[in-house]
Amino acid sequence: MFLSENPEYRKKVKEILPIVEKIVEEVNNLSEKELNEISKNIKIERKKKKKDLVLPNVKDKVILRFAPNPSGPLHIGHARAAVLNDYFAKKYNGKFILRLEDTDPKRVLEDAYDMIKEDLEWLNIKVDETVIQSDRLDIYYKYGEELIKKGLAYVCECSQESFRELRNKGLPCKCRDRDIEENLELWKKMLNGEIDNVVVRLKTDIKHKNPSIRDFPIFRIEKTHHPRVGDKYVYPLMNFSVPIDDHLLGVTHVLRGKDHIVNTEKQKYIYKYFNWDIPEFIHYGILKIEDTVLSTSQIYKGIIEGVYSGWDDIRLGTLRALKRRGIKPEAIYKIMLDIGIKPADVKFSWENLYAINKELIDKEAKRFFFVWNPKKMVVKDADKRVVKLRKHPDRKEFGERELLFNGEVYVVNDEIEEGKMYRLMELFNVVVEKIDDIIIARYHSDDFKIAKKNKAKIIHWIPVDNINKVKVLMPSGEIKEGYAEKDFREVKEDEIIQFERFGFCRIDKKDDEITICCYAHK
């Protein structure tokens, strides 16, 4: 690093080398004791290099856009683009545009427009401007027509198959040479709904090494009902509408996944033909998310069929599902920044998200005992007692909870073995004598040290009376049922708590009968 900053010294390296070698030898001959002395004196100050994500070529105002397809709410995969764009917009004091890309009526869900806005709000992402592409069809028509007039685009009547066949051989189809007037006439007919089964193609390079770039389509006819535009049915393809909008909106940096690299190449033709400046394109690697259904269409199907309870079914990777489990938006924001924008593919591991989230909620979550798969334990030879515990080990101000021991408790069934000693948390040590329909245990001692010495498992427990029924929905789809201690009654819906030795949960629903919780993570 010294050399890279002072390249003029490079030539001298050869001269210095023998000296360096000599010193190295001397150091190597030092005794361990001497070395330790020296290293004590050298305080190694490693510069804490803060990871700082930067955008290349920042000139004037940075304008970014997040462009989801409104076919469902946002999921963890969308969060990456949303967060990155928002982060840079804030960092450079720029602008964040939300652009809803609804030019495929087959993939538009009316509710999604609002859901996406809600999801962004939840993530604390500030939208400076919202653009809906279906409002802008006339704009696309205008620019499309201009390209036809310039002879750079043409109406193609070929079937998809026959065009592809020619294209793959690098041959133009017969429509390519049609004169401009005729093209314009056909274009008008398209817009008026007089013809069907045609597309408008951009003239690119019919021999381009990537066949999909050869005269790719920029408009198509789609007669599916669109919730926002109704009877129009000429729609631009994304490789046309996207560059048009990006340019018109002044977007300076386009952040998107590597799966769009070919699209970028296609879109550059549009910039070239209109003589527009090309924005900065940044392609980050594919985010693979372990064991999670993310496909919006698949989720939607599951909801319709009743497999999932809704978009916020906690088995899903939607933001609203994560919210429901007690994952904080800040945690999602942070992990997306941690992952960053490098071009290598990334396997998203939930563990990492959970760790970040835990840090956020740990200090706020009240602690309670929850006994799942409860089994009654009768403790012989034990006096009645009252145990007072903090609701949070470090935060006295949260107050205390109270457990009244009167001889019978519930414990987690599968934690108990015959003949073993257990420490009932904050209470005393017992030895299990017999397990039948109930567990028979005998009081052993009070001293915690005895439990430690005997390597007794420290388990939690609740008195058999004054209990609260609890059902915990797990992200795996599993349901844990059991009882929570008396003071659990005070929790409110939406509160995040920790069931000790179990994990963090968000209170989803509560009535006199039972409390439903959603499991976040341990």
Partner RNA sequence: GCUCCGGUGGUGUAGCCCGGCCAAUCAUGCGGGCCUUUCGAGCCCGCGACCCGGGUUCAAAUCCCGGCCGGAGCACCA
For RNA, the binding residues in 129-168 under the rule CB under 7 A are: 158-160, 163-164
Please tell me the distance from the alpha carbon of residue 421 to that of residue 426, in angstroms, as a whole number: 15
- 3-class secondary structure, 434: strand
| Residue 514 lies near RNA (rule: CB under 7 A) | no
Q: What angle do CA 48, 49, 55 make, to 5 degrees?
A: 155
Q: Which stretch binds RNA (CB under 7 A): 2-10, 86-94, 142-150, 310-318?
A: 2-10
State the burial class of residue 300 (Cβ atoms within 10 Å of its Cβ: 0-12, 13-18, 19+).
middle
By CB under 7 A, what part of segment 79-138 binds RNA?
Answer: 101, 103-104, 106-107
Closer of 61 and 165 to RNA (Cβ): 165
- Nearest approach in angstroms of CB 512 to RNA is 28
Closer of 61 and 135 to RNA (Cβ): 135
**CB contact at 8 A, 200 and 155:** yes
DSSP state string for 375-416: EEEEEET---EEEEEESSTT-GGG-EEEEEE-SEEEEEGGG-
Closer of 94 and 503 to RNA (Cβ): 503
DSSP state string for 156-190: E-S-HHHHHHHHHTT---GGGG--HHHHHHHHHHH
By CB under 7 A, what part of segment 38-57 binds RNA?
Answer: 46, 48-49, 51
Question: What are the structure tokens assigned to 210, written together?
Answer: 């990537």
Question: What are the structure tokens assigned to 469, written together?
Answer: 């029924």
Q: 10 Å Cβ neighbour count for 44?
A: 5
Closer of 119 and 313 to RNA (Cβ): 119
- 3-class secondary structure, 199: strand
Among residues 23, 248, 261, 514, which is the contact residue for RNA, using CB under 7 A? 261
Instruction: Name residues whose C-beta falls within 8 Å of residue 227's C-beta, 6 or more positions apart in sequence.
Output: 105, 108, 110
By CB under 7 A, what part of segment 364-403 binds RNA?
Answer: 367, 388-390, 393-394
| Residue 171 lies near RNA (rule: CB under 7 A) | no
The strand pairing partners of 380, in sequence order, are: 442
Among residues 111, 129, 185, 259, which is the contact residue for RNA, using CB under 7 A? 259
Q: Which stretch binds RNA (CB under 7 A): 78-86, 143-151, 352-360, 401-409?
A: 352-360
Among residues 10, 142, 150, 188, which is the contact residue for RNA, using CB under 7 A? 10
| Residue 67 lies near RNA (rule: CB under 7 A) | yes
| Residue 232 lies near RNA (rule: CB under 7 A) | no
By CB under 7 A, what part of segment 179-198 binds RNA?
Answer: 197-198
Among residues 22, 188, 272, 342, which is the contact residue for RNA, using CB under 7 A? 342
Please tell me the distance from the alpha carbon of residue 411 to that of residue 460, in angstroms, as a whole number: 7
Please tell me the distance from the alpha carbon of residue 101 to that of residue 205, in angstroms, as a whole number: 27
By CB under 7 A, what part of segment 398-427 binds RNA?
Answer: 423, 425-427
Closer of 40 and 436 to RNA (Cβ): 40
Q: Which stretch binds RNA (CB under 7 A): 80-88, 335-343, 432-440, 512-520?
A: 335-343
- Nearest approach in angstroms of CB 35 to RNA is 10
Q: Which stretch binds RNA (CB under 7 A): 235-243, 305-313, 435-443, 485-493?
A: 235-243
Query: Which residues in 302-331 are b (16+ Cβ under 10 Å) and which e?
Result: bbeeeebeebbbbbbbbbbbbbbbbbbbeb
Among residues 189, 203, 232, 258, which is the contact residue for RNA, using CB under 7 A? 258
| Residue 178 lies near RNA (rule: CB under 7 A) | no
Contact characters 434-463, RNA, x per CB under 7 A: --------------x--x------x-----
For residue 332, the one-letter residue type is: I
- Nearest approach in angstroms of CB 25 to RNA is 12
Considering CB under 7 A, how many residues would be counted as binding RNA? 88
| Residue 37 lies near RNA (rule: CB under 7 A) | no
Q: Which of 374, 54, 111 is nearest to 228 (CA)?
A: 111
Among residues 111, 362, 383, 402, which is the contact residue for RNA, using CB under 7 A? 362
| Residue 352 lies near RNA (rule: CB under 7 A) | yes
Diameter of the chain measured on Cα atoms: 102
| Residue keyed to tokens 């007089």 | 194
Q: Which of 54, 51, 52, 50 is nearest to 280 (CA)?
A: 54
| Residue 476 lies near RNA (rule: CB under 7 A) | no
Among residues 87, 143, 333, 348, which is the contact residue for RNA, using CB under 7 A? 348
Q: 10 Å Cβ neighbour count for 472?
A: 22
By CB under 7 A, what part of segment 479-508 binds RNA?
Answer: 498, 500-503
Closer of 188 and 522 to RNA (Cβ): 522
Q: Which of 85, 76, 113 is nearest to 325 (CA)?
A: 76
By CB under 7 A, what part of segment 263-322 binds RNA?
Answer: 263, 285-286
| Residue 466 lies near RNA (rule: CB under 7 A) | no
Among residues 39, 124, 130, 349, which is the contact residue for RNA, using CB under 7 A? 349
Q: Report phi then psi at 178, rounded to 5.
A: -60, 145
